[in-house]
Amino acid sequence: MPVAQAHAVSAACASRAETGGLNVSGRLGDVVAADGATLASADDPVVAKAIATGIAHGLALMADGTVRAWGSNSSGQLGDGSTVNRTTAVAVAGLTGVRAVAAGDSHNVALVAGGTVRAWGSNSSGQLGDGSTVNRTTAVAVAGLTGVRAVAAGGAHSLALTADGTVKAWGSNRFGQLGDGTTADHSTPVTVMGLAGVKAIAASVTHSLALMADGTVRAWGNNEFGQLGDGTSTNRSTPVGVTGLTGVRAVAAGAFHSLALATGGTVKVWGINYLGQLGDGTRINRSTPVGATGLTRVRAIDGSLHSLALMADGTVRAWGSNSSGQLGDGTRINRSTPVTVVHLAGVKAISTTVSHNLALMADGTVRAWGNNSSGQLGDGTINNRAVPVTVRGLIGKQDL
């Protein structure tokens, strides 16, 4: 069963001409792709400010409001008008003024200035929200959405948090992950039932999470492994409360587990644990939250078949599946407690999926590690990496 989550360098020196398929001819020249296309002026370089990972592709939201993508493109998820895989970053066509991005298995959603949403890629379950099930190789508008504040993307469904604190959902609904009280797919947005005062959202393969303004968490969808955290394994087509959680600052949805960042920088986890992805030192599934071992002063979290934590000092910890080197510790050994990702410091944001990760660096460059079979590490190769490498085709301040 394919799994992923909806749900990132060593910077090149100014004198280098090896910037991932780019031709940089001095500080005063333009930055030019191998095919001759101008990507940025050397006098005004564009840097990444946010990242997202699909099952085998990556996204970077650039400081100028455009988006770049790389990796698998079988469903048009790179948004460049083709279905050709890319091992370095290319521009998503026709997108400007983007405020946030999210990546599902093989589709993406972008929050645009003005509070509307665009989507592209796989649309087999209506996850693009345009009223069809036709894949799109360039971005289309999600029907009927305005006033959106945040977006999230699951395996084949999507979420939008609106200005009034309610949540809209569309796409696959086999397990009730749209939260509308049914299990019918929807190709346009529907309202998640019983939610108001939502602060943040997260989506995974087949379940969804909402962080409430009071610091509690609600969950809905697939609960086979206890990933909804209500002490049962019963699927839910409307939101239920996660047991025993208060003071939560952020949430993340793994493939079949969930994470919460608590006050004080500790991490709570629940759901499937056969690969050690809960980080509690066991392989025992949990239907209510437990603590990940040895973590304090955490700033951000993410998960899939493994989990990541961004620390206050700008380093990253990882645990769970390591089959493709996605824990970044130089091995391929699964870990049931957190280990340090090597050669990473000064990280601003993290994003993970089933077998690779992205880290956004303080200088606006991006590093990647893990599975690279479709070029999803963006380093110009298809070689797996057990330690981080630079994503090419993204212009950071030190690329010039």
Q: Residues 146-178: pLDDT tens digits? A: 999 999 999 999 999 999 999 999 999 999 999
Contacting residues for 35 by C-beta, under 8 A, at least 6 apart? none
For the chain, domain boundaries = 22-390
pLDDT at residue number 13: 27
Supply 320's token pair: 């769970």
pLDDT at residue number 253: 98
246: left (phi over 0), alpha (psi -120 to 50) or beta: beta
pLDDT at residue number 290: 98
Neighbouring-strand partners of residue 201 = 210
pLDDT class for 46, splitting at 50, 70, 90? confident
Amino acid identity of residue 50, one-letter, is A
pLDDT class for 292, splitting at 50, 70, 90? very high
Supply 306's token pair: 């493994």
**CA 200 – CA 305 distance, rounded (Å):** 22
Tell me what the mean pLDDT of segment 255-267 comes to: 96
Proportion of the chain above pLDDT 70, given as a percent: 87
pLDDT at residue number 45: 66
**CA 378 – CA 177 distance, rounded (Å):** 31
Tell me what the mean pLDDT of segment 285-312 comes to: 98
pLDDT for 88-114, tens place per residue? 999 999 999 999 999 999 999 999 999
pLDDT for 373-385, tens place per residue? 999 999 999 999 9
**CA 347 – CA 361 distance, rounded (Å):** 5
Of the candidates 239, 197, 195, the residue with the CA atom closest to the CA atom of residue 214: 197
The rounded radius of gyration (Å) of the Cα atoms in the chain is 19
pLDDT at residue number 43: 45
Of the candidates 138, 142, 137, 99, the residue with the CA atom closest to the CA atom of residue 118: 142
Proportion of the chain above pLDDT 90, given as a percent: 86
| Residues 98 and 52 sit within 8 Å (Cβ to Cβ) | no
Burial of 163 (0-12, 13-18, 19+ CB in 10 A): exposed
**CA 224 – CA 206 distance, rounded (Å):** 10
Higher pLDDT: 16 or 346? It is 346
Of the candidates 242, 262, 160, the residue with the CA atom closest to the CA atom of residue 203: 160
| CA dihedral angle for residue 131, residue 137, residue 139, residue 141, rounded to 10 degrees | -10
pLDDT at residue number 400: 39
Tell me what the mean pLDDT of segment 33-38 comes to: 34
Tell me what the mean pLDDT of segment 23-50 comes to: 46
> What average pLDDT is seen over the chain?
89
Domain at 22-390, CATH class: mainly beta
∠ Cα 101 318 5 (to 5°): 35
